[in-house]
Amino acid sequence: MSFGTRSLPPLGAPPVRSLLRSPKGLATALTVLLGVCAATRTLMLAAGLNRYEALGGAVDPEPSWRLFSMAMSLALLVMVPTAVVFIVWFHRVRVNAGVFAPELFRRGAGWAIGIWFVPFVGWTVLAHGIATRVWTASAPKPPRGVGASVSPVPVTAWSGAFGAAMLLSLASNRIGDKALTEAGLRDAVLVGMASDLVYAVAAGLAVVFVRRLSAMQSRA
């Protein structure tokens, strides 16, 4: 009995297109988690205001401190799974983008995970660089002579707000560590409130970025 070769699978590496996976499921999970993150940061903002008043003698400091500690614990509890899902999503969209436009990337897709182990610079500058290239690779290509593709404003808005929130948080910690008076502690709390507000805004901008990029890749 003889066998033809037409039914045999091709040898070698699988087609590059087989690397594509829709990020919409991860995007949906991220939308929920980022919404909860925004809610916990709003709670921290309210707790910070209460703490600010307590340091000024307007309210009882003990319940104020308990509220502030609870809000902080909730924010940290939600932040961990959100960060994990975001990194998984970020790696997925980077792999897809490498199929769409491999010429835009000098480093492998694993770098989309590695940068999150580089404090601050990795979370802002390096993440923005990768996200911008992924956005460019995923955006529908306009006909020749029509003009620019989809604007990358959502990428810049998200990364800029996230970076600003981290800087405000660092400033709040520095001011609090050096504070020798209640006035100094109130300044630290005030800057921390600004950080929580910007974090909440950054979470909302992240939802826009995640959903729009995921939609572009799902249509590809």
pLDDT digits (tens, 9 = 90+) for 6-42: 444 455 555 555 678 999 999 999 999 999 999 999 9
For residue 82, which of 45, 43, 47, 38 has the smallest C-alpha distance? 38
Q: How far apart are the first and last CA of the chain?
A: 44
106 φ/ψ angles, rounded to the nearest 5 degrees:
-95, -25
Q: What are 36-69's pLDDT values in tens digits?
A: 999 999 999 999 999 999 988 867 888 888 999 9
